Amino acid sequence: MMVTTMQLLLRSPLKSIRLLASRDCSSYVSRMRYLMRLKEDDDACRVALQSGTLMLFHKLAPLLRPTERGIYQLHKLQASDVKGILGKLRENEQLLNTSVLIGCSDSGVPQFSLDVGSLEQAFVEEMCGGVFIDLRKAFFLLKGPEAPLVAKGQALLRWHQTHAYCSATGQPTQRNQAGSQRVCLQNGATYYPQMAPVVIVLVSDGRRCLLARQSTFPRGMYSALAGFCDMGETTEETLRREVAEEVGLEVESLQYSGSQHWPFPQSSFMVACHATVSPDRAEVNLNGAELEDARWFTLAEIEEALKRKTPPRSTKGEPTEFWVPPSYAIANKLILEWANHRKSHK
């Protein structure tokens, strides 16, 4: 197709988004200014650590606490709790200072995360009455804002664990107390925590939506198309290229939906969009190297899949029913939005 006819229309670039309703704007501002100060002032951050809350990780697995009703919650500790554990193990209290600053609660309490992977896991679990659970499982178990909080805590710890050296001089880098940056002492280069930008897109032909699966997905699960941004690309360019590469279709219009930090396999910044293709040119030409399958789904099929709260179980040999990613994944939000839009425009 001629480049001139390949027009991408960003339908509502200035779509207004209701931001988290903060009834007391000044307190939100003061919390953000407080966090800024903690990132700049190591002494203030060390003081804040003594009165803040701590999420513990063991080799990047977060510590959760089972409640009586079989529900898991994030286990939050205080600096004094961690000092108690370190004291019992005769370990150096300096481990506490490897905590990283994650944010600040609504009531202004600073939040940190700390990896105690050098300590004996079973001992820490027993002392805390909790259990360290792999992040993928923890994501299923946690409710509400705890899942993104724990993902953020893990992502920052992971970044520090993998960026201990300057990529130019090969010398060790030194972090600030908050953990918001690392500096090479030899050449002064400053490194900041990074996320890889990814565009995720739910393609529609007006009547149906397109979902795909990679061979590594759990059986039966289909999701929206996704792809990493190439250097220098805009969101629109990545979206259009990924749809062309993966399913051989030409996007005609797109609309921004939302974004999400995604910790798997490493930190991605997911930009979620809806896109349309012409119903006359909706034949999928699959890139088999990247995807195992891609199919158009009707509203009725999508509604059925959205009703399933847990992945359907498969008995050997039987095909697994189709299901979509869980509600904490932004793909689920895109699919839900599409279904609601279709229902209201039937």
| Interacting residue ranges for ligand NAD, rule: CB under 6 A | 196, 198, 200, 223, 226-228, 260, 262, 264, 268, 270, 290, 325, 329-331
Q: Which is nearer to Mg ion, 125 or 245 (CB)?
A: 245
Find where tokens 């425009």 sit: 345
> Which residues partner with 183 through β-bridges?
174, 190
Q: DSSP of 95-139, one letter per residue?
A: GGGG-EEEEE-TTS-EEEEEE-TTS-HHHHHHHHT-EE--HHHHH
Single-letter amino acid code for the residue at 328: Y
Is 325 an interacting residue with respect to Mg ion (CB under 5 A)? no
Q: Which does 264 bind (CB under 5 to 8 A by kind): ligand NAD, Mg ion, none?
A: ligand NAD
Q: Of the ranges 76-84, 194-202, 221-229, 313-321, which one interacts with Mg ion (CB under 5 A)?
A: 221-229
In the complex, what is the shortest distance from the CB of residue 226 to ligand NAD, in angstroms, rounded to a whole number? 4
In the complex, what is the shortest distance from the CB of residue 119 to Mg ion, in angstroms, rounded to a whole number? 38
Q: Footprint of Mg ion on residues 69-98 (CB under 5 A)?
A: none
Q: Which is nearer to Mg ion, 130 or 227 (CB)?
A: 227
Q: Which does 32 bind (CB under 5 to 8 A by kind): ligand NAD, Mg ion, none?
A: none
In the complex, what is the shortest distance from the CB of residue 330 to ligand NAD, in angstroms, rounded to a whole number? 4
Q: Directed axis angle between helix 25-40 and helix 42-51, to 10°?
A: 120
Residues 6 or more apart whose Cβ sits within 8 Å of residue 215: 292
Q: Which does 180 bind (CB under 5 to 8 A by kind): ligand NAD, Mg ion, none?
A: none
Report helix, strand or coil for 50. Answer: helix
In the complex, what is the shortest distance from the CB of residue 162 to ligand NAD, in angstroms, rounded to a whole number? 13
Find where tokens 């219009």 sit: 253
Q: How many CA atoms lie within 13 A of 143 on its CB side?
A: 7
Cβ 225 vs Cβ 210: under 8 Å: yes
* Burial (CB count within 10 angstroms: exposed 0-12, middle 13-18, buried 19+), residue 334: buried
Q: Which does 198 bind (CB under 5 to 8 A by kind): Mg ion, ligand NAD, none?
A: ligand NAD
Nearest residue to 101 via CA among 178, 182, 36, 45: 178
Q: Of the ranges 166-174, 222-230, 251-259, 261-269, which one interacts with Mg ion (CB under 5 A)?
A: 222-230
In the complex, what is the shortest distance from the CB of residue 200 to Mg ion, in angstroms, rounded to a whole number? 9
Q: Which is nearer to ligand NAD, 217 or 296 (CB)?
A: 217
Q: Which is nearer to Mg ion, 226 or 249 (CB)?
A: 226
Q: Which is nearer to ligand NAD, 119 or 229 (CB)?
A: 229
In the complex, what is the shortest distance from the CB of residue 305 to ligand NAD, in angstroms, rounded to a whole number? 14
Of 62, 110, 227, 263, the one binding Mg ion by CB under 5 A: 227
Q: Which does 125 bind (CB under 5 to 8 A by kind): ligand NAD, Mg ion, none?
A: none
Report helix, strand or coil for 165. Answer: strand
Cβ 168 vs Cβ 190: under 8 Å: no
**Does an H or E element contain 32, and which?**
helix 25-40
Q: Which is nearer to ligand NAD, 117 or 326 (CB)?
A: 326
Cβ 228 vs Cβ 220: under 8 Å: no
Binding site for Mg ion (CB under 5 A): 226-227
